[in-house]
Structure 1
């Protein structure tokens, strides 16, 4: 072999090793969440809207099924053709999306994931002989050799999921059934048929997030309702027309006008986006999809709803409250100042992030038709201090996010704040001013027993629209 040929082979080997190592490192940094959607799409425009938004995050979430189902609002038909309509529009913009981030799946792959549940209501679709391609697909994906949990986001009635669970229980050994069910993570948009309570009653170990009862009281409803203290402009019809519907390519062109509410189903998967804040396995830590705590909801037999309510038999993840004081831009002096009002409630856990996730949506809509240099991309948040810190009561620790950067070269704004409800301590770590990149000698509060404090770093770029990413630092405080 000639000397030049040997050199070429060596260079190729080194290049291959670098590529392999880089790919491996990326996989370690970003482990995608697996997701199957069960949707009563066609009932009203909001499922269709949520499906459009989901396409824009299909490179950050492993979509493994899109199942058309029924609900109390659409009890005798399923509409897989509407899912296909969204995917066909996505096919036209997928090449442009790949200019901005890698990993957007082909339309052909997504079309192969579209399945149908039975066109019947609730428990009519559960039992012997009630299998559907949707319920069988859920079981097939559960049995796939993949150690990651499988999230099921139910936008309508969950009877397709209920049938899959019924069959697992009937046809698998107790050990096998327990193993499969332990891999499931379910978020239902309230109860939209009578199988939700049946699932919770018959599968007490199933990981389940829901706000049973009146939609108005549900955490997810905060995505599209007007609240004092929230940025309501970013859910207005004018904002949607400007940032989504008009001049943003084929996906925007089919985004319908609001009927009852904008994207009521989107909160079921917002927590799966890897933004540095979301921790889907920890619903009580809070994130873009809201915050939830594990308990058995109270039952009032006097309350009536479109789906009959019944007393719950076990705890699950449901509505939790945050107490939140928003920040606003300061005209002089401090760039960020706290509002004078404090807002409290379960809806707060979601709408507090509304401006961030709506801006993110708007940016990705521009990716559908603009080149990389003409669009905005989220900043990269990097800490020079650990994400897990242990300190003794009254001791000091440091926080440093100054290594963060923006891929577009935009300037950055920093905001550090404690998320009290996510930790176990009700005592505060004093961070002031909150908008600088690093701190030395922050003092841990005095505690009598081991406690945790969650501190969030939010980094926002100065592009248009302004995009935010986060890091969560968990400080464990030990008594002296």
Structure 2
């Protein structure tokens, strides 16, 4: 059964990139809404609205705006028509995508679930909107599946939906039971906090709703240039982007934005024209990121995309427990309480050890290891849209582990894992194993791993204690142009 999800976004250029990227994967989940919201970076303005006289920090650790005063004027506002334009592009690619995989939603269905939410100003949730009503209906429906709400901008439209539910039901006998049901049902995957709505409303009234900050700015957003060299970084550079992604005859990718590519962004001033303003390299980017100079067609940003990467069926077990890690990164619980002293269910990105191309180890955002996998998979999907021939496309292998993915063992035991992979393209497929120490108990540092062909023998260290978890990442990688992959995350529990 597919996961179900709603996208909310504030129309930042990287949100627009993320939506284009997501639509290549729209067959993998059940999308139930695309809702435009506002954020501290973008709003349409409401006559008479007044902005508090304060400064806020942006996601780079610096002040994003010094202007206080009226909220009655647009601020970096790109309009709302762009969503339908992207769906129009998806409609052109849709026939070819359907030849490679089942389950792509029709363009008309996407149009029917695309709504405008609360867009007035930063944190605006003055009244119900079409977008908040859509979210409210999905929260209250009879579907027992978890509802994953992606937040690419502010949380305000989600907060408005929850507020309307609270106002309608809190004085009714079923409120306690309904509140508990919604708290369990809703999971928010958010690109940080881009307005005060989470802290000021959601945390105060729904502290148990899981709020996962998937923000990994250095791995997949504007500052990626500062990351260590290696394959992940190579797939974000202009050579890979131009050759493997931008050159393909896909309508969706023709509107995808990269550094200095000539694209002009509606509503942005010169300081936000990353595609069309050559001076921005020094004026904005160089001043922030150690004078590193982007090249034409370098990856720009998809800072919001980890909110849906975490949902894709890539074989890791992040949603089972976000401390387990995976392609979308690993997360840890944040010690955050609301004004009532209640513990809030907030999670933030953990760091993992990354080995660069020269063998140097460093702690990096836990998604960085997988960016090359993500980019090659993305490139393969763009190629699907460009050519409807299944035989010419590449498709991911399917990995299996004979012993299963949950194993119990005692210290000193030798655990054997035997893996195999089916490749739909009849390509050779390599299988590898590694001990995922960052997600495992301390004893994993002493685990002995021996690999022969497609079999691994794992010797549980004598330092292991009852209840320790040892994570083994098994990977199948196709020997094709895009080296497509599948993972299985085996967890050994020490008895």
Which TM-score band applies after superposition, normalised by the shorter structure? 0.7 to 0.9
Aligned mate of 1:185, from 174, 184, 187: 187
Distance 2:123 2:465 in 1: 51
Q: Is the CA contact 2:118–2:124 (under 8 Å) kept in the aligned structure 1?
A: no
Q: Is the CA contact 2:209–2:345 (under 8 Å) kept in the aligned structure 1?
A: no
**Which has the higher mean CA deviation after the structures are superposed, 280-289 or 90-99?**
280-289
Aligned mate of 2:429, from 401, 404, 412: 412
Q: Does 1:342 align with 2:361?
A: yes
Aligned mate of 1:444, from 440, 460, 478: 460
Q: Is the CA contact 1:70–1:156 (under 8 Å) kept in the aligned structure 2?
A: yes
Distance 1:430 1:254 in 2: 49
Distance 2:198 2:311 in 1: 22
Q: Deviations over 1:263-286 (max 9, x none)?
A: 111111101010111432421111
Q: Is the partner of 1:135 in helix, strand or coil?
A: helix
Structure 2: gaps spanning 5 or more residues: 45-76, 170-174, 260-273, 275-284, 286-299
Shift, 1:254, TM fit: 1.4
Per the alignment, residue 233 of structure 2 pairs with 232
Matches within 5 A, 1:32-431: 32-41=2-11, 43=12, 45-76=13-44, 79-126=79-126, 130-172=127-169, 173-198=175-200, 199-210=202-213, 218-224=215-221, 225-226=224-225, 227-230=227-230, 231-258=232-259, 259=274, 261-296=300-335, 314=344, 316-325=346-355, 340-345=359-364, 347=365, 349-370=366-387, 371-401=389-419, 403-427=420-444, 428-431=446-449
Shift, 1:74, TM fit: 1.0
Shift, 1:122, TM fit: 3.4
Structure 1: gaps spanning 5 or more residues: 1-30, 212-217, 299-310, 329-338
Q: Is the partner of 2:441 in helix, strand or coil?
A: coil
Q: Is the CA contact 2:208–2:344 (under 8 Å) kept in the aligned structure 1?
A: no
Shift, 1:78, TM fit: 7.3
> Normalization by structure 1: what TM-score?
0.81
**Which has the higher mean CA deviation after the structures are superposed, 420-429 or 444-453?**
420-429
Per the alignment, residue 468 of structure 1 pairs with 485
Shift, 1:108, TM fit: 0.6
Q: Deviations over 1:394-427 (max 9, x none)?
A: 11221000x3121111111222011123233433
**Which has the higher mean CA deviation after the structures are superposed, 139-148 or 225-234?**
225-234
Q: Is the partner of 1:473 in helix, strand or coil?
A: strand
Q: Deviations over 1:47-103 (max 9, x none)?
A: 111001111111101111000111111122574321111111111111111111111
Shift, 1:316, TM fit: 1.3
Q: Deviations over 1:346-369 (max 9, x none)?
A: x2x011100000000000000002
Distance 1:194 1:244 in 2: 36
Distance 1:63 1:315, change over 3 A: closer
Distance 1:79 1:68, change over 3 A: farther
Q: Is the partner of 1:122 in helix, strand or coil?
A: coil
Question: What is the total number of aligned residue pairs between the two structures?
Answer: 410
Shift, 1:194, TM fit: 1.6
Q: Is the CA contact 1:197–1:312 (under 8 Å) kept in the aligned structure 2?
A: no
Q: Is the CA contact 2:208–2:345 (under 8 Å) kept in the aligned structure 1?
A: no
Distance 1:183 1:268 in 2: 17
Distance 1:202 1:222 in 2: 33
Distance 1:183 1:79 in 2: 32
